[in-house]
Amino acid sequence: MGLRLSSMIFALALITLATGSTASASAAPTYYVSLGDSLAAGTQPGHLFTNESYTDQLFADLHASKPTLQHVKLGCPGETTASMITPDLPFEGRNAHNACRYPHGSQLAEALNFLHAHQKFVALVTIDIGPNDIFRGGGFPAIAANLPVILAALREAAGPDVPIIGMNFYDPFLAPVWFSNPAGLGTEIARAVGGNNFFGTIYAAAGVPVADVESAFATTVTTPIGGVPLDVLRICTWTWMCAPAPLGPDIHANAAGYHVIAVAFEAKL
């Protein structure tokens, strides 16, 4: 009887250890790492950083079903593909990282350090970058040179199985173009689509899916709604471009627009 009782106690101990290990593993934190520019930071009129960004809203949606998920939010307003790589790169006569301090130098270096250190526990990486290159940086040549380097580095650091998702963009300038010169809307749409196709080609070459924000904002749909093309109406509804001063015009999405972007990312998971 003594040997039998000892065997039962040993078996129960093994079950308890196994159950405890499983529970501990399920309770271990996992991470969503977001990189990008002002859209990732959640910039709103008068506020460089908010908790209303698409990254925050995507995290909130994912966290509802993954309670151990944590958000590593790295996006920096004003970031370009060049400044994402290079620590403290001068930008528009000021430091691009005045508002962002990365202990490992650049935003990319910070992300790579974290991904290497937590590789087995990263659930998702998202990135948006490039518009500032077009607005004020080195343009499409800079993006073509830098974005593939960024994506390759993220893939190496994250490992082969971690989802990495990029995005294309809405065009905030549809609204002012249409209101000032309706005949110019088609040209602006073509410009937006061409730019997004350019981004899509780079992401496709890296094997990175793209959240289709262009379609989510109906960028190519000019069907009139109350006399205003749908694509223009969505810019007015989901960004600050049509808001009166001092809030507008501002290219950034509002909270509702950021949620639309978050949903576009979720569609790629």
Q: Find the mean pLDDT for residues 211-219.
A: 98
The answer, yes or no, to whether residue 212 has pLDDT greater than 80, is yes
Two tokens, residue 130:
């490039």
- What pLDDT is recorded for position 53? 98
Q: Which domains does the chain have, with CATH numbers?
A: 28-169+199-213+255-266 (3.40.50.1110)
The answer, yes or no, to whether residue 44 has pLDDT greater than 90, is yes
Q: Which residues contact 254 (CB under 8 A, 6 or more apart)?
A: 44, 52, 238, 239, 240
The pLDDT mean for the chain works out to 89
**Tens-digit pLDDT profile for residues 142-159:** 999 999 999 999 999 999
**Tens-digit pLDDT profile for residues 160-209:** 999 999 999 999 999 999 999 999 999 999 999 999 999 999 999 999 99
Q: Which of 133, 205, 116 is nearest to 169 (CA)?
A: 133
Q: Which residue has the higher pLDDT, 30 or 92?
A: 30
Distance (Å, rounded) from C-alpha 147 to C-alpha 36? Answer: 12
**Tens-digit pLDDT profile for residues 22-38:** 444 457 899 999 999 99
